[in-house]
Amino acid sequence: MMGNGFMLSSGLLQLNDGETMGNFAITFRFKSDSTYQSRYESFVKKVHEIATTHPWAETSSFYALEANETADSLCTRLYLESEFDATKDLLLVIDTKNQVKATKGKVEYPTLLKTGLGF
């Protein structure tokens, strides 16, 4: 047990109510078409809503953030709760502490992704 009601559990901070706190890298690609701007804006808004602190976003199509999520749950929330379109967009969420990834959309080269990340 750490101070302030937090417990360390397999690399994630666990809050007393069972929620987990993780660190994530998110990268994405949106297809440029007539709905691009709307999809992008809804995605960015959702990232900011989910993050527990202000996300780092100094580079293109990338966020580093802390959230009360797992890689799978964060990826699913961004997919379901924004206008992200898995038929034409691509999303990669990486749990940096637990070395877990989750994707939505078509990954063209999954073996290269696995080799490059190491998991």
Would residue 72 count as lying in a domain? yes
Residue 12, domain member (yes or no): no
Is pLDDT at 6 greater than 90 in this prediction?
no
User: Across the chain, what does the average pLDDT equal?
Assistant: 88
Confidence at residue 98, expressed as pLDDT on a 0 to 100 scale: 96
pLDDT-based confidence at 45, cuts 50/70/90? very high
Confidence band, pLDDT 50/70/90 cuts, at residue 76:
very high
- Is residue 16 a part of any domain in this protein? no
Q: What is the pTM of this model?
A: 0.84
**CATH no. for residue 52?**
3.30.70.240
Residue 66 near residue 21, CB atoms below 8 Å = yes
Distance CA(27)–CA(35), nearest Å, equals 19
Number of structural domains, the chain? Answer: 1
**Is the pLDDT at 14 greater than 60, yes or no?**
no
* 39 belongs to a structural domain: yes
Confirm whether 1 is domain-assigned.
no
Question: Is there a domain that residue 90 lies in?
Answer: yes
The domain in which residue 38 lies consists of 22-117
DSSP 81: S
Closest to 31 (Cα-Cα) out of 105, 103, 111: 105
* Contact of 39 with 30, CB cutoff 8 Å: yes
